[in-house]
Structure 1
Amino acid sequence: DRTVVEFHAPEGVAMVHVRTSELRLFLERSEHLVPAGREHQYLDWDRDLAELLGGLP
């Protein structure tokens, strides 16, 4: 019924609990907008993650 995602970083660990059905719906919608294998055309994962975690000004 629930999915747990853990994020590990030098600063600590974050655990996120989500309803599995909502996660599946989110992933289906995401893949419709950004087809698998073409993520690099839409995102800069390294920059975006560093910005999210406060690594960039």
Structure 2
Amino acid sequence: MNSTTGQPIQKMSFGRMPKPWASFNLESGELVAIDRVDVGKPAPGKVVVPVSVWVTPKK
């Protein structure tokens, strides 16, 4: 999610929980920094949880 607009940017799969101080590149090549990580509740009978990562572009 883009922190300034609140719009989703892209879907990603993480093998582990992303660290709040990490930076990574989007598919477009833009370098972004993580602002906030929101962890949802798993669906009944599921182990996978939805995670929303809020990012801002790094300059």
Could you say whether these structures have the same fold, taking a TM-score greater than 0.5 normalized by the shorter chain as the test?
Answer: no
Query: If you compute each CA radius of gyration, which structure gives the higher value, 1 or 2?
Result: 1
TM-score using structure 2 length: 0.28
Structure with higher RCO (Cα < 8 A, 6+ apart): 2
TM-score using structure 1 length: 0.29
Structure with higher strand content? 2
